[in-house]
Each structure stands twice: as C-alpha cells, then as structure tokens.
Amino acid sequence: MSVTCPACGKADQEQQTCSRCGCDLTRLLEVARAAAAALHRSLACLRAGEREDALAAAEQSWNLCHSVEAARLAFLAAAALGDTSAALGWRQVARSR
C-alpha cells in the first residue's frame, strides 16, 4: 500500500517515514490499509451475494480513500440491490476518477 507524502508530495511511499523529507506517514498508511481491507470485504460480500454488506464496505472504503475501485464496487453493489439512483451516482463518481 502506498501513499503520497502530504508535506513534500513524494508519491509511492510505502515506508512509515517519507524518504525525501522525513514526514511521519504512519497514520496515512493505516488509513490506506483500512480502505484496502474494506475494499476486499466488499468484493467478498458481493461474491457471496451479500449485496447490502458489499455496498456498506465499498462506501466505507470510499470514505477512507476515494479510489475508483471503491466507486466501481459501490456501483455494482447498488445495481445488484436494484437501487438505480445510487448505482447511477456511483457510476458517475467512478467515471470522474
């Protein structure tokens, strides 16, 4: 899981300290890991047919880290639930990323 240093903007940091400026990235890495875990939960729930749980986990991942993957899974889960309005909203979000 990589993050971008908020202090200097160096991308693709996977260490707890920025290799360029020394900024502490521990909390950012924790958030990125939590977002990835929620994304994996969402996919597992969707595969298991647990659509509501899939949508909740995708939304949790999105709230932590605005990734296109989270938006796409939220779109799929909302569509599987038959919530056209939410699905279209998530589709728009995914396309804008």
**For the range 5-12, what are the long-range contacts, defined as Cβ-Cβ under 8 Å and sequence gap of 24 or more?**
none
9 sits in the region (left: phi over 0; alpha: psi -120 to 50; else beta) called: left
Instruction: State the pTM of this model.
Output: 0.89
pLDDT per position as a tens digit, 52-81: 999 999 999 999 999 999 999 999 999 999
HSE-CB at 78 with a 13 A cutoff on CA atoms is: 18
13 secondary structure, DSSP code: B
Which percentage of the chain shows pLDDT scores above 90? 94
pLDDT per position as a tens digit, 2-28: 899 999 999 987 899 999 999 999 999
In sequence order, the β-bridge partners of residue 17 are 24
pLDDT recorded at residue 13: 79
Which domains, from first to last, does the chain contain? 26-96 (1.25.40)
Among 6, 23, 25, 22, CA closest to 14 = 25
Question: What's the mean pLDDT in 87-92?
Answer: 97
Vertex 50, ends 70 and 60: CA angle to 5°? 30
